[in-house]
Amino acid sequence: MKFKTLNEQMDVIKRGVDEILPEDQLVEKINKSISTNIPLNIKLGCDPSKPDLHLGHSVVLKKMRDFQDLGHNVTLVIGDFTAMIGDPTGRNKTRPQLNIETTKINADTYIDQAAKILNIDKLRVVYNYDWLSKLDFSKLITISGKFTIAQFLERDDFSKRYKAGIPISIHEFMYPLAQAYDSVVLRTDVEIGGTDQKFNLLLGRDLQKEYDMEPQATIMLPILEGTDGKNKMSKSYDNYIAFNDVPNDMYGKVMSLPDELMFKYYNLVTNVELKEIEDYKLMLDADKITFRDLKRKLAREIITIFYDDSAASKAEQHFIDIFVNKVAPDDIKVVRIGEKIKLIDFLVDEDLLSSKGEGKRLIKQSGIKIDNKPLNDINYEIIPGTSITIKIGKRKFIKVEWSWLHNS
């Protein structure tokens, strides 16, 4: 195939990127690829520690898709072996180790979800269990002997734990070594990761040098904040937008994003051209559009990536009906009861609340409404003859009807 020019490729590659190390070597690799007409080997590793992918993962996956579209060879490394170690990056304590069965199950869902962004027909998927599980102890000693404990303690997360007297298990030092060895096995030209992976990515360069290989270039992308606007997007923080979220939930979550994250999301998550994003900024400054307008367009763009235009339009209308026109959804669940019950107990039983404590907190925050009126009584009971519509939080609804037959 005929590759695009260096400048054309770099324009695509550098979009949204925080840092390229070393950039001059990436330029050399691309020039060589163009002159020899041989594609580069691009690597992204992901550990299947949890079954769901979210928009935070989409940032690096989109960069992989950029390389696919530029004609390079893209490899997704499923870290089914390294997941059993547990990535210590950003952790203030040892991450629980997973068994191989769990990582295999999660890995299958990862590939299905990643296919929503990557061209699956042009994707090479490998599992690092295939080579890491075969390393004998002498080989491990050889690899680990190329680095020092002092080097590893330069990592911010290890350094903080060491100074605080928080235990660091020996196996945690093995994680970056294992990730680096992946680059040796795959003879990687370019490795992609988040800024929090900088140490691991550069270690891959160092280990390739030890094996007399041309070291990989590294591309680091920003960490995407979640819907709370503070912490990185994570299921642990409950601030995530998942690939598998239904369109209505996806739209509502995007609309809840803080204004200051708008353009970061446009740049890192969508396919909107940079010139168009700059135009939005000018229009916003000139009061020709509002942040609400931008959020609605962002929500449609994101839903279209994971579903289609029709799903995006329906989700937008659903949002308008519920949050603008205050109309309950047509597909609201109806439950018939035949005895008096406390509202909080009922909502817990219906899995609309995780606990009674959550219910009490929501009521204090006016987060539960009955027939569109805020509830302020934590002991409220659903009584005989009741027919009410309950709204829990921003997006959950349920209708309760009294059943005399059930009660008889």
Would 343 be classed as within a structural domain?
yes
**Same-domain pairing of 66 and 190:** yes
Rounded Cα distance between 48 and 242, Å, is 15
**Same-domain pairing of 306 and 283:** yes
Rounded Cα distance between 169 and 224, Å, is 29
**Same-domain pairing of 274 and 343:** no
Would 196 be classed as within a structural domain?
yes
**Same-domain pairing of 149 and 274:** no
Would 20 be classed as within a structural domain?
yes
pLDDT value of residue 62: 97
Would 231 be classed as within a structural domain?
no
Would 329 be classed as within a structural domain?
no
Global confidence as pTM: 0.80
**Same-domain pairing of 287 and 362:** no
Among residues 293, 324, 355, the one where a domain terminates is 324
For 320-371, what is each residue's pLDDT tens digit? 887 777 666 667 788 888 788 898 998 998 888 889 898 899 999 888 998 8
Would 236 be classed as within a structural domain?
no
Among residues 182, 205, 221, the one where a domain terminates is 221
**Same-domain pairing of 304 and 355:** no
Would 237 be classed as within a structural domain?
no
Would 181 be classed as within a structural domain?
yes
Lowest mean per-residue pLDDT among 47-56, 225-234, 309-318: 47-56
Give the mean model confidence (pLDDT) for residues 74-82: 91
Looking only at the bridges linking them, the beta strands covering 190-194 and 341-342 are unpaired
Report the CATH number that the domain containing residue 380 is assigned in CATH.
3.10.290.10
**Same-domain pairing of 280 and 341:** no
Q: Is 77 helix (H, G, I), strand (E, B) or coil?
A: strand
pLDDT value of residue 132: 92
Sorting pLDDT into bands at 50, 70 and 90, what band is 408? very low
**Same-domain pairing of 72 and 100:** yes
Report the CATH number that the domain containing residue 271 is assigned in CATH.
1.10.240.10
Number of domains in the chain: 3
**Same-domain pairing of 145 and 268:** no
Sorting pLDDT into bands at 50, 70 and 90, what band is 394? confident
**Same-domain pairing of 105 and 165:** yes
Q: Which helix (H) or strand (E) holds 282?
A: helix 274-285
DSSP calls for 205-265: HHHHHHTT-PPPEEEEEPPPB-TTSSSBS-GGGT---BTTS-HHHHHHHHHTS-GGGHHHH
**Same-domain pairing of 381 and 273:** no
What average pLDDT does the structure give for the chain? Answer: 89
| Tokens of residue 164, six digits | 């605080």
Among residues 205, 221, 237, the one where a domain terminates is 221
For 151-208, what is each residue's pLDDT tens digit? 888 777 788 888 888 888 887 888 889 999 999 999 999 999 999 899 999 999 999 9
Rounded Cα distance between 170 and 151, Å, is 14
pLDDT value of residue 124: 96
**Unique residue bearing structure tokens 């009490």:** 360
**Same-domain pairing of 284 and 178:** no
Report the CATH number that the domain containing residue 123 is assigned in CATH.
3.40.50.620
Question: Residue 91 pLDDT > 50, yes or no?
Answer: no
Sorting pLDDT into bands at 50, 70 and 90, what band is 300? very high
Chain length of the chain: 408
Per-residue buried b or exposed e for 269-290, using 16+ beta carbons within 10 Å of the residue's own CB: bbeeeeeeeeebeeebeeeebe
Residue-number span of the structural domain to which 353 is assigned: 334-407
| Tokens of residue 136, six digits | 């004998």
